[in-house]
Amino acid sequence: MKAILKYTVLLFALFFAVSCKKGADPSPVTPPPVTPPVVPGAPVNYLQLAKETHNFTVNNLLTGSYSYRANTTSKAANCFEWYNVSQIYADAAMVAAGESSYLVYMNNTFKFMENMWDKKDLRGGYFASVNLDGSGAGGDKYVDDNALSGMVYLEAYEVTTGADKQAYLAKAKACADWLINSGLWDNVYGGGFYWNTLKPEKPTQTNGLTLQLFAKLYGLTGESIYRDWARQVDAWLSAKMFDTNTGLYIWKIDGAGEGLKHTEKFTYDNAIMVEAFLIYSKVMNDPAYLTKAQNLGRAMNTTLWNALYKGYVFNTAESRINPAWCAWGSQAMIRLYEADKNESWLVYAKENINRLNIANRNTTNLGYYFFAGFDGQNRSTEMETVDQAWMQRLQAMLSKY
């Protein structure tokens, strides 16, 4: 899931071509009245914006199989794991906001995801890519994608009942169990999970997502194996990836021997770690981790915040912003507010989403561009499913506040 970016070059290792057959699309959704453009300082109807984003997704990206095209342009015949589960995440947030009609989208895409599970390997795990109709699953498996899938399913678990609820919990555990048995944690660089089955590097976000999943599963199940893995991942991240000068976590470590540390700072790496610490604090009953989360949030707002435009940078080497990776910063701020009720976190959360609405939103079709400058210039042409998902999700979350 990490955008492999060196200054202005963005490479997606999981974006490989897959020949796909399109399923019959569901009937288009009639959009509700369009909200006015976001104006700095004006009240914002976040739930309405979330609904409009969902309508764009249904009309442009959803297939008859309840999979999602990766984007509207170059990857319209591709379907990616973390894009699909991000949309489930978005729909779960809508259900949590009182919109129960989104359950059908959430549950049907969850069923589609079974096409991506490796059934030939007893350990399982999700493949990164599949055809739109569910055929042809293959390629590499990504630790961060599988860990995120588990976290998504645990949120879906919270907003469902009966057999659906138990199915989400079971699959979240299956994702965690694949992580444990995948062989992608070793002693290179003193530990840590590799990004994927090619073992190219060990990033913060990959390990931070596993920390979230292990800690949350321990809290739900009481099974000591998840507690032990959470402690192990946390210790490695603190020892290897934390930059004491900035109070932030670095991008990744790779290379031979002791490894080369890439010290760029990404908003979503650190947002993931904020949430990981908050979960850890709660399930381990350790208030020190609440303090760690608060300190990390403050460091984000010192180094990763653009004070002129009032939004989070993608990373410290990139001048454009992205709806998924930058919106993750708002999720961290919302989680901090939910933990300590300090309303200053919500100010950052809202201003960041407002900036993405100004910079990345097409006011005609109501979709979000992959990248844009803080001022809304220099927009890329792609509209990615994952970006729509995260904007839908964060605006649904903010609608409660």
Here the CATH number for the domain that contains residue 340 is: 1.50.10.20
Q: Which domain holds residue 144?
A: 46-399
Going by C-alpha positions, the residue among 228, 238, 390 that lies closest to residue 312 is 390
> Is 330 among the domain residues?
yes
Cβ-based neighbours of 41, under 8 Å, separated by 6 or more: none
Q: What is the pLDDT, as a whole number, of residue 34?
A: 54
> Is 39 among the domain residues?
no
> Is 254 among the domain residues?
yes
> Is 3 among the domain residues?
no
Whole-number average pLDDT of the chain: 92
Distances (CA, A) of 80 to 15, 68, 142: 8, 8, 11
pLDDT digits (tens, 9 = 90+) for 229-244: 999 999 999 999 999 9
pLDDT digits (tens, 9 = 90+) for 324-353: 999 999 999 999 999 999 999 999 999 999
The domain total for the chain is 1
Is the per-residue pLDDT at 2 higher than 70? no
Distances (CA, A) of 232 to 2, 65, 186: 22, 39, 12
Q: What is the pLDDT, as a whole number, of residue 42?
A: 74
> Is 23 among the domain residues?
no
> Residue with structure tokens 């979350």?
397
Read off the pLDDT band of 317 (50, 70, 90). Answer: very high
Is the per-residue pLDDT at 6 higher than 50? no
Going by C-alpha positions, the residue among 141, 31, 22, 44 that lies closest to residue 354 is 44
The mean pLDDT value for 250-260 works out to 97
Instruction: With both helix axes pointing from N to C terminus, report the angle between 224-240 and 267-284 in degrees, rounded to the nearest 10.
Output: 140
Number of H helices, E strands in the chain: 12, 13
Which is it for strands 202-203 and 242-243: parallel, antiparallel or unpaired? unpaired
Q: What is the pLDDT, as a whole number, of residue 51?
A: 98
> Is 324 among the domain residues?
yes
Is the per-residue pLDDT at 207 higher than 90? yes
**Residue length, the chain?**
401
User: d(Cα 16, Cα 138) in Å, to the nearest integer?
Assistant: 11
The mean pLDDT value for 381-389 works out to 98
Instruction: With both helix axes pointing from N to C terminus, report the angle between 103-112 and 81-96 in degrees, rounded to the nearest 10.
Output: 160
> Is 394 among the domain residues?
yes
Is the per-residue pLDDT at 36 higher than 90? no
pLDDT digits (tens, 9 = 90+) for 59-89: 999 999 999 999 999 999 999 999 999 999 9
Read off the pLDDT band of 139 (50, 70, 90). Answer: confident
Distances (CA, A) of 107 to 111, 158, 161: 6, 13, 12
The mean pLDDT value for 115-129 works out to 97
The mean pLDDT value for 293-308 works out to 98
The mean pLDDT value for 202-215 works out to 99
**Structure tokens of 135?**
């055929």
User: d(Cα 134, Cα 67) in Å, to the nearest integer?
Assistant: 8
DSSP state of 68: B
Instruction: Please report the DSSP string for 132-181 in residue order.
Output: TTS---BS--BHHHHHHHHHHHHHHHHT--HHHHHHHHHHHHHHHHHHHH
Distances (CA, A) of 127 to 136, 176, 201, 263, 347: 10, 15, 18, 29, 38
pTM here is 0.91
Q: What is the pLDDT, as a whole number, of residue 136?
A: 97
Read off the pLDDT band of 39 (50, 70, 90). Answer: low
> Is 19 among the domain residues?
no
